[in-house]
Amino acid sequence: MFNFIKKLFYKSYFYPFFANRIKVSNRINRLKKFADVFAGAPSINRQLYFARKVYELKNQLKSEIVIGHAVQSLFASIPLSKAINAKHIADVIEIPSFKDRAFPTPWHQTTLELTDSAIKQYLRDTNHIFTVSESLKRVLKDINNNVNVFPNYPLEIKFNENNKIRSNCNISDNDILLVSISTITENLEVIINSLKILPENFHLAIVGNIKGPEYKSFINDLIKKLNIEKRVHFFNPVRYDELFSYLSGADIGLIHLNNQIKNHKVSLPNRIFDLMHSNLPIISVDIDDISKIIKDNEIGFVISDKEKKMPEIWEKNIKNLAFYKKEKFKYNLKKINKNFLFDVLSDKFMTTFENCKTVTFVGFTDLAINNRTMRFVKLLNSKNILVNLVFCSSRKKHKDTKLIKYFQIFPI
């Protein structure tokens, strides 16, 4: 009887519907079963897809030098350089490991081991390494001895100081405005707690993004708990060509990165130069290259590792700077800022490109809006060197110019 009913069901109108549902359910279960094994695979697949697309452009990208921007690009830039018999430069802007990022890369341990090993081998194979700080250079020299440091000094931007940021905060000239910029991942709570014990006329502007919904929610809850909502002001990132003039209306710049994260410990981020060129004295946690600039040039204070989690120490340093040292530090900044412009690096940079006619930059992110890459591009163009830019982006296509050709690969 059961077999007879089963035969009738297989021949019925409903069977295809149930059969398809069973197939889909089985596929979902298989995916769930192996999800942990393939954690990180979509991102790796995108990088390998990008690498294949770049390789397919090898005839259009013939050049004497290929530069891979950031370690993610090496999967594409190294094979390209070998295919066209070009020298290769790795522009390493972070620690060469996906395991040591501010936000841990959510990949399976086996995937992390594979990618980190591949990156280290690529860095051994490259002809040169460019990087952003002396601390990161020391890390990289254990892999490849040919390392040059080109910090993220900005191009000169002439601007008029203004009070736009103060107007947006609705504060007066008698108020003291602290500012924290760029992507914020942690330690903002120490600043928030110090603001609570500072006088009422001290305010904090956050210009940029707080990364991670849980951390953002935690910060918002803390501000409400301390009842200082009217003294904390949030703003979206500002266009780079307007950033210095916008920040100039503040009084003190703060850097509160977590220096226990290896990638932060060896960093020299854009934010220090953005604050400096906005003529803002700086208070920072102790990060080697940042601390050296602040101390050598007397433009702010450095808070020791032992004290960095103490709101009362931040409060003491903020008050000391605001009431006693601000004008001295601002005077020092105006004297030394010319030493921290990209122009001072240009001669050293160009020694690598003697007798070079064409350079290809490869990036897994949008190089057309990357300040570091575009500074390099402008300098090369000024020497009549042609540049190919090949990168991954879903933005509107870019127009080629006389000296720059864009090859835009749309991501999968």
Q: In whole angstroms, give the CA distance from residue 134 to residue 94.
A: 12
In this prediction, residue 219 has a pLDDT band, given cuts at 50, 70 and 90, of very high
pLDDT confidence of residue 316: 96
Residue with the larger pLDDT of the pair 153 and 42: 153
Tell me if 41-148+343-409 shares its fold with 164-340: yes
pLDDT confidence of residue 33: 45
Map tokens 């397919």 to a residue.
56
Lowest mean pLDDT among 100-109, 125-134, 346-355: 100-109
| Average confidence (pLDDT) over 134-155 | 96
Lowest mean pLDDT among 66-70, 340-344, 408-412: 408-412
In this prediction, residue 2 has a pLDDT band, given cuts at 50, 70 and 90, of very low
> What does the DSSP 8-state code read for residue 316?
H
| Average confidence (pLDDT) over 367-371 | 93
pLDDT confidence of residue 36: 42
Max CA pair span of the chain:
97
pLDDT confidence of residue 371: 94
**DSSP calls for 226-294:** HT-GGGEEEE----HHHHHHHHTTSSEEEE---TTSHHHHT---HHHHHHHHTT--EEEE--HHHHHHH
Q: Are 286 and 304 in contact (CB under 8 A)?
A: yes
CA distances from 235 to 165, 166, 205, 222 (A): 9, 12, 7, 18
306 pLDDT more than 80 = yes
The side-by-side arrangement of strands in the sheet containing 202-210 is 232-235, 202-210, 176-184, 252-255, 282-285, 300-303
Q: In whole angstroms, give the CA distance from residue 276 to residue 279.
A: 5
What is the token pair recorded at 334? 């105006």
Conformational region of residue 182, where left means phi above 0, alpha means psi within -120 to 50, and beta covers everything else: left
**DSSP calls for 32-78:** HHHTTTTTTHHHHHHHHHHHHHHHHTTTTT--SEEEEESGGGHHHHH
Q: In whole angstroms, give the CA distance from residue 109 to residue 104.
A: 11
Conformational region of residue 212, where left means phi above 0, alpha means psi within -120 to 50, and beta covers everything else: left
Residue type, 236: N
Domain boundaries, the chain: 2-34, 41-148+343-409, 164-340
Q: Are 203 and 177 in contact (CB under 8 A)?
A: yes
| Average confidence (pLDDT) over 183-189 | 90
> 164-340: which CATH architecture?
3-Layer(aba) Sandwich (3.40)
Q: Are 410 and 393 in contact (CB under 8 A)?
A: yes
- 239-298 tens-digit pLDDT: 999 999 999 999 999 999 988 888 888 989 899 999 999 999 999 999 999 999 999 999
In this prediction, residue 14 has a pLDDT band, given cuts at 50, 70 and 90, of very low
The helix or strand, by DSSP H or E, that contains position 386, with its residue range, turns out to be strand 386-392
pLDDT confidence of residue 284: 96
Q: Looking at domain 41-148+343-409, does it have CATH number 3.40.50?
A: yes
The sign of the CA dihedral 168, 314, 266, 79 is: negative
In this prediction, residue 25 has a pLDDT band, given cuts at 50, 70 and 90, of low
Helices first, then strands: H and E counts in the chain: 17, 13
- 95-129 tens-digit pLDDT: 998 887 777 778 888 888 999 999 999 999 999 99
pLDDT confidence of residue 328: 94
> What does the DSSP 8-state code read for residue 202?
E
| Average confidence (pLDDT) over 145-167 | 94
The helix or strand, by DSSP H or E, that contains position 296, with its residue range, turns out to be helix 288-297
pLDDT confidence of residue 403: 93
38 pLDDT more than 60 = no
Residue with the larger pLDDT of the pair 14 and 235: 235
How high does pLDDT run on average in the chain?
Answer: 89
Q: Are 321 and 311 in contact (CB under 8 A)?
A: no
46 pLDDT more than 60 = yes
In this prediction, residue 396 has a pLDDT band, given cuts at 50, 70 and 90, of confident
